[in-house]
Amino acid sequence: MGSDPEPWTLRFETEGGERVVVRLDRDAMYELWTEVRGVPWPTVHRHPERRERDELVREIVERANVAGESELREALDALGGRE
């Protein structure tokens, strides 16, 4: 593996609603990924704009996982409607 100076950022929310952010270096993140997924991780985008976009997508998914139906409908409408 090549060196990656930027840490991985994991965001969690506790049952009490507190947001927790954990930063892991590449080796620690790889260990976590392979333990949870059981496979090597996919290619990481090196282009800063693509990495920023991927981070935004992850944040949307995280929030969608805890959102109610009305919030999900509003989000779909904001993103261009539903099919």
pLDDT of residue 78: 92
pLDDT of residue 68: 95
Has residue 62 got a pLDDT over 50?
Answer: yes
Distance of CA 81 to the CA centre of its chain: 23
Q: Which residues pair with 24 in a beta bridge?
A: 8
pLDDT of residue 1: 45
Confirm whether pTM is higher than 0.75: no
Instruction: Show the tokens assigned to 7.
Output: 């840490």
> How far is residue 45's CA from residue 47's CA, in Å, rounded to a whole number?
6
pLDDT of residue 57: 78
